[in-house]
Structure formats: structure tokens, C-alpha cells
A and B are shown apart, each in its own frame.
Chain A
Amino acid sequence: MNAQEYISSGILELYVAGALPEAEAIAVREAARKDPAIQAEIEAIEAAMIRYAESLTEQPDPALLAGVMSAIGAEQAPPAAQVRPLYLRAWAIAASVLLFASAILNLVFFGRWQDASREIAVLNNDRSQIAAERASYRERYEASAAELELIGNPEIRIVRMTGQAKAPDARALVYWNPKTAEVKLKTQQLAGLEAGYQYQLWAIKGGQPVDAGVFDPSDTLLLQKAITEGAEAFAVTIEKTGGSPVPTLEQMVLLGAVAS
């Protein structure tokens, strides 16, 4: 199609009116670019259309443009920039509240945990005390039971030794079985000795002292050296650690005769 054909076809009017399909519009533009006559015709048609449209109304008021500018000014700030911070702020507030609540709960639970730990420590301590007491009672019960057995045994001779001039309040019992030669000693209210000294038990046979072993003061029954039949009395002296072959008579603290 040459320039004159284009101009007389009516296509250019439709082109300016926006009534051409896209492919045809692109073809018209190409033709206009190559041929200044077509370009001039298009511009003339457009000018006529604009003048015609303008004749149908008055110049719009400047407030219209101001309205458009403020509208696009508002639209230009990305809506996300306004909405998102609110969104984020809501999350931030929620997160802060949760963090604060979490911190409070941490304190509460830490406090409770500490209390619980303290209670457990106390209970453990009580428990070991009770266990120790229980062991101690058991020991004393066993000792008492053993002592009661000795008391109930007709073969046993019970010798009650009493304090001498050196220790008037001292007491001790000797459970002696002449048949088995077993000697058991139960001390009562014997004072502790300074380092390097021990008590020593003696059996008196025919007026002669026989060593029955050294001991330290104790609540329990102490098994001493065997003493065969024939002892008339038992005595306790303070001797150097390990004991002496013969008693130091000035150091006698206890003495008791065997009941005949």
C-alpha cells in the first residue's frame, strides 16, 4: 500500500482512534516511519480529533490536575511501605509480649526449680541422717540383744566393777563364761584417756593378776582375752598403749569380785 492508498483508505483514522487490531497498528507505524507523508497525515488526523474532542467541553479546572497529582503521590509511596510496618509492628508487639511473658515465666520457674533443688538437698540430708541414726539404733539394738542373751545365759557370771579412789563414778560390767573362757566387757561412764594410754582388764586368780587385754571406752560389748575357770575378781588399770605385763596398782580405776 503506498502513501496515497493509506491516506485514502480510512485506516489512519482508525489507527488514531485506536480501533485497529494490534498487528495492523504496528504495520501502520512502520509505514509512517518510512513515509513522512503518512506520518504527516496521521498527525493531522490526530490534531483534528483532538480539536474536535476539545470542542465538546471546556478546559477542566486546575483542581483536577492537583487531585490527580495528590492521588499518584499517595499511590507512588508503595502501599507495602505503609501496610508492612503496621504488620511488622503488630508482630513486633506480639513478639515482645511473648518474650516478656517468657522472661517472667523463666523467673518463676527458675525460682521454683531453685526451691525444689533446695528441698531435695534438705530431704537428702534428712534421709542420710535418718539412715545414720537407723544404723546406730540397729547397732545398739544388736548390742542390747546380745547383752540380754548373755544375761539370760545361766553359765555367764556377771561381774559388776565399781569405781576406785581414782575414778569413783566409773562403772563397768564383765560377762564371763568360765566354761568357754569367753570374756566380754561393757564399759559405763569411763573417762577418755590422754594419748599414749589405754585401759587394761585383769582377772585375779589366786591373788595373781592375769592379763585379759587392753581396750578403749565404748558403748558396745568388747570381747577380751580368754580367762579360764578360777578367777575371783576382775580389775581395770590405766597402762601405757599396748598394755603391761603387770598392773600398775596406783592406776587402778575399777574393781569387782566374782560372786561365788
Chain B
Amino acid sequence: MTQEEQIIALLKKQDQGAIPLIYKHYGRALMGVAEQIVKDREMARDVLQDSLVKVWKYAAQYDPAKGRLFTWLLNICRNTAIDRTRTKTFRFERSNIQTIENVVSEPTSAASYTPGVEHIGLAELVGKLDERQRVALETVYFGGRTHEEAAEELGVPLGTLKTRIRAALMELRKLM
């Protein structure tokens, strides 16, 4: 039984033991998604915490037939993060943060985050990804858009978008 199967079995049994396993295997990735959307580590932390509570609350709704466990977790976390960006508090805080960022002239690309030791190499490489590939990937990955929506948003033909995403992922896998 893989870790993923074990977690799915625990969720089905409404066993709270599923949550620490989810945290261990997907916690950091989900935190990364949240942080990429809300652009604030403290807020990302809140988003992840709320998301894990929701995961437990809606555990019975996860259906492996409809998608991967990680995909389900990603959707919950992404929606929670996007909801957070729509609150008034968020806009207020964001405007302050951006003011400060402007003052110190800090870049806001992925490379400006301070990743863990084992990811330093990867993060640097991600920062070096073709910008167009990275944007295409992140629009779908973090924005929760369909191909068509992402293509429209980025103003590129559907085929081009698919190619860019594909290339970005190929590149990532090569880098890892």
C-alpha cells in the first residue's frame, strides 16, 4: 500500500491519523501553492491550517474516481487561498506590503523566496525557467483555470499554452 492509498483509507474511515500524514507528504507543497497565491507567508500559514481543517471536514467527499488525492488537496488549498485574496483585509494588507516592497525594490519572482536547503538548487532552476513556460504553468497550477481560460487570459492560442505547460513540466522533471 502506498502512502497515498494509506491516507485515502484513513480518510474514508474518518480517522484523524490521515491529517498528520497529509501534512507530512503534502504540507509544504500546499503551503507553497497558498503562498504563491496570497504572497504572504503568515497568511499562507493560515490558509494551510484552514485548508487542513476543511480536508478533515469534507474527508467523506473525496472520491478517488474523480481525481488524484493531491489534486483534491490542491483544489481545497487553492480555493481557500483565492477566497482569502478576496477579503477586504487581504487587499488592505497587500497594498501595504506592496508599498514596502516598492520601497526596498525587492523582486517578487519565485527566486526571491527563501526555500529550504534541499530545494535551493531547484528553486534557482525554477527561477531560470523560461518565463512564458512558468507563467503558463502557474496560471493553470495556481489559478485553477482550464486550458481555454488560461489561454484567453494569457492571450495565446490553446495549442501554444499546452505546449508551454508541457515544456515547463518536462523542464522541471529534468531539473529534479
Question: Interface of A with B (CB < 8 Å)?
Answer: 8-10, 13-22, 25-26, 29, 42, 44-61, 64-65, 67-69, 71-73, 75-76
Contacts and interface: CB of A to CB of B under 8 A. Distances in A.
B156 interface: no
Q: Is the interface of B mostly helix, strand, loop or mixed?
A: helix
Interface in B127-147: 137, 140-141, 144-147
A57 B28 contact: yes
Contacts, number: 167
Given A8-B166, A10-B162, A19-B146, A71 B29 contact: no
A48 B172 contact: yes
Contacts of B176: 47-48, 51
Interface in B103-140: 110, 113-116, 119, 122-123, 126, 137, 140
Contacts of B71: 15-18, 46
A55 B147 contact: no
Nearest to B20: A65
B172 A75 contact: no
Nearest to A29: B65
A56 B33 CA distance: 8
The listed residue with most B CB atoms (<10 A of its CB), out of A14, A17, A44, is A17
A225 B77 CA distance: 130
Interface residues of B, number: 59
Contact of A64 (B45, B74, B137): B45
A188 to B, nearest CB: 112
A17 B49 contact: no
The listed residue with most B CB atoms (<10 A of its CB), out of A54, A57, A67, A68, is A57
B147 to A, nearest CB: 6
B162 A50 contact: no
A18 B140 CA distance: 9
Nearest to B125: A55
A49 B30 CA distance: 10
Contacts of A17: 71, 74, 140-141, 144
Contacts of A64: 23, 27, 45, 48-49
B75 interface: yes
19 contacts: A8-B166, A10-B147, A14-B147, A15-B68, A16-B70, A16-B71, A18-B144, A19-B146, A25-B67, A29-B64, A44-B173, A46-B70, A52-B32, A53-B32, A55-B122, A58-B31, A65-B23, A72-B16, A75-B57
